[in-house]
Chains A and B, each alone.
Chain A
Amino acid sequence: MITLGWFGVKSAQDQREIHKHRIIALITQNLARLDESISELVKSYERKLNTLDSMTDYSTSALRKVVRSIPVVHQLLILDQRGKRIFPSHVSFTRPEYEFIRRTKPFIETFLKGSRRGKNERRNHRRRKRKALRSPQTFGTKKSSDYRPRPYKKSNKRKVTTRENGNIRIEQHLYANSSQENKTSKLVRAKIAKQKIQRQPIRNKPTDTESRVLALNSSTSNTPQLKEKRPNAELKNFSTSADHNADDSPIIKYDTPNTRPKSATTAQQDKSTSEKKWIKKSRTRFEVMPPEHYNSSNKPARKPQSTIVINKQNNSKSQVIVANTQQQPLRSVDKNKEKNSRPHNTKEPMKRARERGNRDVPQAGQRNPESSSAGLNYSSPSPSASPTKLHQQKSLSHKNIRTQKLTSTSSVKPSLQPQTKESVFQDLRGWSIGFRKNGINLIFSFRKSDGYLIAAEISRTRLIADITLLSPISKSQTKNITQSRITLTNARGDIISQWGRYEPEKNSKPLVSYGLAVPLNSWKLNYFSAKIDLNNTYSYAPFALGVSAVFIAVFGLAFYFYRESNRELTVASQRVTFVNQVSHELKTPLTNIRMYAELLEEDLEDSNDRTRSRMQVIINESQRLSRMIINVLNFARHQRKQLTIIRSKRVVDDIIHHVLDQLRPALQRLNIEVEFKANASQEIDVDTDILEQILHNLISNVEKYAATGQYLGIESCIINDTIQLTLSDKGPGIPRAMIHKIFEAFYRGNNQLAEGVSGTGIGLSISRELARLHGGDLELVNSQQGITFKLTLDSKAKRK
């Protein structure tokens, strides 16, 4: 049986394995579908945000309106071509805007590499450029290694860039814009090629390492991250400051990586200064910076770039590109004209641009306002809208090479730095993921065709709400809703959203986990199920199951039999209870009948025999009825094991006389001669009721079955505190085969014998039980004629 069970369980286990894989595949499919719909949602956000492309009005109020009109957008950031912030404005910003700036500073920084550096770096930068101008021979090689070593390296990283700055991490997933290929240089193309290779894993699913990194970093929330950084002396200060004053930290963090590392004391000072103070600081800094910023980028390009423009103007198509991509040369051209007129107000260019855009440029949004200010009239469409990409790409690459050649041949050293930088910016459009406090901070950024960088921070609540609205469970699975739960957790494991009514236990492992696609690749979908538990160890499970199956079978059988027997017992006890109650209820009327019959009989002293005999019948039958009731009750009580013996000092012979007196009328009627040899005249402990009942049963048996013998012999004696009674008759006796059966309950001799004789069939049975209860026994003794019973009753209480 065990082996059978084992084999059964084994095969079941195999099937279970298959089933398990199927289930996991199904769940994974389900989760993948959900992931798809989430990425679809993100794409729809992208589409919405792409409409900002057509935006022309950069006034603060208009932009605020825009922010309000797009519910997906939480905050908007607009930087102009040079990385100067246009919105939120430096001059007036609301509290949320201000907070937004603070938290996006690291983000901005990643876009302004090189253009917004520390004072020293800028100075060095200028020096290097001057050097380069002085020694043109070294330009070709030196440029790439000295000036621009970073962009090349970074370009690889930029795809997935992670920057840690205090508790803010930024990760960028940028991909080439569809329009960027128009102006791809070799460099850019190489970049795109690399991107393409890497895009595959990104789109489908973040690679293990990526996701793991994400999970690790974010799971160790703010404080652990900071702890890790402690050894780093440079960052230590900032981390402490972050610890102490969370509000101040973003600014400090932002500033420091580009400036020289501050000493601990300065950091402390920074921290100790009030908020207002640093707001002031930053304000002044921003006010000062724009002119510097412009100057820094313009100065080196000032002298030579007119030649490039001129060169490029040879080709109308390339002009557009150059105009769009390389603003600095253009600006340098303008500069001569506008140098004096340009105010240091940051709003000015925007205003002018707006004016011009309204006045004479129908597609101003797609154009560089600077270019139009340069007096160049570009009627051709913007590169982003260009339809002939491939063709252009090829031609462009040639042209770029040509321009390079031109520049080199003309011995003019153009600043390639802004060129490559901006091309990188412009090419890439996509998501930056910031980690801020406990949540994810998604920023979608792209550079407009007019060179303005637009970064939109996605409203986190909106995103979560939209995701929650997605129903991950198809209609066919609605039944399973109650048994399953899908949770969306962030990298820390906090639940962002959940579907399904099943409540998984705390710390229970999900059945299947599925990482979301970029940009939400730090989030995970987890599937919990109540029904399916696949974590059973395969090795001993079948054996355990087999054994348990056998056990269950055995216990099941045992339980079945137990219940069966129990049921019988219950039924029997119910029957007994019923009989008990019925007999009890019969007693009161019977008492009256019997008592009044007997009283009446006494009153009939003088009446004739006929009346008396009729009266006697009533009395005898009522007596018999009461004996039967007592018999039944005793039997019932015996079944419930409630019979007890109550001994009292009595003379046994008296009891026998009493019984004989009671039964004499019937015996006389049947002409049964009673011979009583009384030898038990002394008092002895005996239960009168039991003795009477046994005698009644035995004597009435003689009446019923042995009347033909016409003899009843009773002999009593007491030996060693034991009452011994012998009752014999001269009836037909009992066939030998039946002797052992007569003491069984409900057995009534053979049919011939029992025919026409009333009785319940429990008399001898209950008599023997009562005798045994009384410490004695009732036995059948061999006799020559009829039946002889031997009754022994112990006077001493020694119950079995």
Chain B
Amino acid sequence: MKVLIAEDEHNIRQGLEDILNAEGYETVSAENGRIAIELYESEKPDFICLDIMMPEMNGYDVCRAIRDNNKDIPVIFISAKSEEVDKVLGLELGADDYILKPFGVKEVIARIRAVTRRYLQSQNVAIKEEISSFKMHELEVFPNELRARRGEKVVELSLRDTKILSFLFKNSGQAIDRDKLFNHCWGRNYLPSSRTLDQHISKLRKRVELNVSKPKIICTVHGFGYRFDP
């Protein structure tokens, strides 16, 4: 999924890019509203995060322009304007959520996941080939819901997590090369870093594995990559 981030403050923009990248989204970022519109037309993103107070063209106008074009694309406002009027106006323009600054990373992730879930479920037809759910031992994964379930326990998954799990599930029993996994789940544009993959896998294991020291779902193939054994 490609996300367009429109934010004039450089650091926040960078931070949001990092968060979204870590979640498994591709990002394109614009520093003002006009560029945001241009990027929307050129990059065709699946998801848009908008600041409201931006130079040249404010978030409301960008949202309006985009909504005229596409009624379904998810839009999230991320703004310091905490007045109800602003929220109401943003939501009435067709925004899917409104995140107030200062935001926590987890909040942003949670909200983006929520919006993504709704988007994926509404786009169910488009990604029909994908299985609505699959089982990896005791863990039942719902890729469209970005969730997994182990008995009663619900595990929140990121977009990337589901990608990794579904990639491993599709190639069950096969050892998957680290580069192959990386390219599939992170994209080719992403700068490869061995640590990034390993860190992410270890985080994911903590959530999905029953026993992290003896992983069953994501098994390590030493010197090569990872493997799921059904």
Contacts and interface: CB of A to CB of B under 8 A. Distances in A.
B125 interface: no
Contacts of A661: 106
Interface string A589-626: 01111111011001001100000000000000011011
Contacts of B81: 584
B142 to A, nearest CB: 17
Contacts of B110: 658
Contacts of A633: 82
B84 A605 contact: no
Contacts of A644: 84, 88
Interface stretch (B9-17, B25-33, B57-65, B127-135): B9-17
Nearest to A658: B110
Interface in A626-640: 626, 629-630, 633, 637
A588 B9 contact: yes
Interface string A343-383: 00000000000000000000000000000000000000000
A598 B18 CA distance: 12
A587 B81 CA distance: 10
A662 interface: yes
Contact of A598 (B84, B91, B106): B106
A652 to B, nearest CB: 15
Interface in B164-218: 199, 202-203
A591 B80 contact: yes
Given A588-B9, A591-B12, A599-B19, A646 B88 contact: yes
Nearest to B11: A592
A92 interface: no
B199 A662 contact: no
B101 interface: yes
A630 B82 contact: yes
Nearest to A633: B82
A591 B105 contact: no
B32 to A, nearest CB: 16
A605 B199 contact: yes
Interface string B94-110: 00000011111111001
Contacts of A629: 102
A642 interface: yes
Nearest to A603: B199
A623 B91 contact: no
A235 B82 CA distance: 98
Contact of A623 (B16, B22, B104): B104
Given A592-B11, A596-B15, A661-B106, A637 B101 contact: no
A626 B15 contact: no
A644 B101 CA distance: 18
Nearest to A692: B107
A463 interface: no
A643 interface: yes
A606 B206 CA distance: 13
Nearest to B98: A646
B104 A662 contact: yes
Interface in B29-76: none
A623 B106 CA distance: 12
A587 B84 contact: no
Interface string A480-512: 000000000000000000000000000000000
A630 B100 contact: yes
A601 to B, nearest CB: 9
A595 B84 contact: no
A62 B1 CA distance: 124
Interface of A is mostly: helix
B161 to A, nearest CB: 14
A595 B88 contact: no
Nearest to A586: B102
- Most chain B Cβ neighbours within 10 Å, of A588, A595, A662, A689: A595
Contact of B80 (A588, A623, A625, A689): A588
A689 B103 CA distance: 12
A594 B84 contact: no
A59 B16 CA distance: 120
A622 B83 CA distance: 21
B102 A626 contact: yes
Contacts of B199: 605-606
A764 B104 CA distance: 24
A587 B12 contact: no
B87 interface: yes
Given A584-B80, A591-B80, A646 B91 contact: yes
Contacts of B80: 584, 587-588, 591
A630 B80 CA distance: 11
Given A599-B15, A605-B199, A622 B102 contact: yes
Contacts of B85: 642
- Most chain A Cβ neighbours within 10 Å, of B18, B103, B104: B104
Given A630-B82, A643-B84, A644-B84, A598 B101 contact: no
Contact of A646 (B18, B84, B101, B203): B84
A623 B85 CA distance: 24
B184 to A, nearest CB: 23
Given A599-B19, A605-B199, A646-B88, A594 B83 contact: no
Nearest to B203: A605
A498 B212 CA distance: 112
A785 to B, nearest CB: 33
Contacts of A587: 80, 101-102
B12 A595 contact: yes
A590 to B, nearest CB: 4
Contacts of A596: 11, 15
Interface in A677-702: 689
A642 B11 CA distance: 31
A465 B150 CA distance: 117
A605 B202 contact: yes
Contacts of A590: 101-102
Interface in A573-587: 584, 587
Interface string A636-674: 010000111010000000000010011000000000000
A591 B19 contact: no
Nearest to A625: B102
Nearest to B107: A658
A592 B15 CA distance: 8
A637 B84 CA distance: 9
Interface string B113-152: 0000000000000000000000000000000000000000
Contacts of B16: 595
A690 B145 CA distance: 27
Contacts of A646: 84, 87-88, 91
B107 to A, nearest CB: 8
Contacts of A625: 102
Nearest to A644: B84
Given A626-B102, A646-B88, A662-B104, A595 B15 contact: yes
Given A630-B100, A644-B88, A646-B88, A595 B105 contact: yes
- Most chain A Cβ neighbours within 10 Å, of B88, B107, B203: B107
Contacts of A588: 9, 12, 80, 101
B182 to A, nearest CB: 18
Interface of B: 9, 11-12, 15-16, 18-19, 22, 80-85, 87-88, 91, 100-107, 110, 199, 202-203
Given A605-B203, A623-B104, A644-B84, 6 more contacts: A590-B102, A591-B12, A592-B12, A598-B104, A599-B15, A662-B104
Interface of A: 584, 587-588, 590-596, 598-599, 602, 605-606, 622-623, 625-626, 629-630, 633, 637, 642-644, 646, 658, 661-662, 689
27 contacts: A584-B81, A587-B102, A588-B9, A588-B12, A588-B80, A588-B101, A590-B101, A591-B80, A592-B9, A592-B12, A592-B15, A594-B104, A595-B19, A595-B103, A595-B104, A598-B104, A598-B105, A599-B105, A605-B203, A623-B104, A629-B102, A630-B82, A642-B83, A643-B84, A644-B84, A646-B84, A646-B87
Nearest first, the 9 closest Cβ-Cβ pairs linking A and B are A598-B105, A591-B102, A644-B84, A590-B102, A626-B102, A587-B80, A591-B101, A595-B15, A587-B101
